């Protein structure tokens, strides 16, 4: 059994300072990249962690971008979850560029409060730095969604957060 945890890297320390004394939906962000490891067999964690974050970000004037594999977001799920249909964009497999490249380009624009990208494996340190720089530039949150790997690298802790992926079809 895995104990939940979240792998995050703050782009700037001022993120915490900027959010002190403000309401969460209005807090200016300096940029942040987080990674969520999800598991199909633990659907409750999506409801407890990911949804409240996305609902809160949905209060901002900016869009949410979902870079998903082949699955299509369920309109009825978005409505039932309280996510704003008019602020959610989805792109299936970004095409000629990688998901990381698509995330970087989207984060840099400043048009999105959050960019979610589904990646099959861990990213390199160089890609993480590039994502952090892009998130800082666009003052956005980048969420790397990765499936639980049976054979995790030995250097990786075994207490990772599992997020259910049934939020898209």
Where do the domains of the chain lie, and which CATH numbers do they carry? Answer: 7-12+29-147 (3.40.50.300)
**pLDDT tens digits, one per residue of 125-148:** 999 999 999 999 999 999 998 888
Tell me which residue has tokens 């409801």. 47
Q: Are 166 and 47 in contact (CB under 8 A)?
A: no
**pLDDT tens digits, one per residue of 72-94:** 888 998 999 999 999 999 998 76
Residue 60 pLDDT > 90, yes or no?
yes
User: Coil, strand, or helix at residue 144?
Assistant: strand
Instruction: Enter the pTM of the model.
Output: 0.72
What's the start-to-end Cα distance of the chain, in Å?
Answer: 26
Residue 101 pLDDT > 60, yes or no?
yes
Two structure tokens written together for 5: 């945890």
List, as one string, the DSSP characters of 66-81. Answer: EEESSPPBPHHHHHHH
DSSP H helices in the chain:
14-19, 44-45, 51-57, 75-81, 99-109, 125-138
Gap between the Cα atoms of 47 and 63, Å rounded: 21
The pLDDT value recorded for residue 151 is: 38
Alpha-carbon torsion (81, 164, 48, 51), positive or negative: negative
């Amino acid at each position: 059994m895995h104990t939940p945890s979240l792998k995050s890297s703050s782009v700037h320390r001022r993120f915490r300072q900027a959010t002190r004394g403000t309401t969460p939906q209005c807090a200016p962000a300096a940029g942040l990249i987080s990674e969520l490891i999800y598991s199909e067999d633990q659907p409750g964690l999506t409801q407890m962690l990911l949804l409240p974050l996305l609902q809160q970000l949905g209060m901002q004037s900016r869009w949410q971008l979902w870079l998903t594999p082949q699955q299509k977001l369920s309109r009825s799920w978005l409505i039932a979850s309280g996510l704003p249909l008019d602020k959610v964009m989805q792109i299936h497999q970004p095409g000629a560029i990688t998901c990381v490249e698509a995330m970087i380009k989207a984060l840099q624009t400043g048009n999105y409060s959050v960019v979610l990208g589904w990646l099959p494996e861990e990213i390199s340190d160089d890609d993480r730095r590039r994502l952090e720089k892009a998130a800082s530039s666009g003052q956005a949150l980048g969420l790397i969604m990765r499936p639980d790997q049976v054979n995790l690298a030995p250097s990786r802790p075994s207490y990772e957060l599992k997020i259910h992926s049934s939020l898209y079809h």
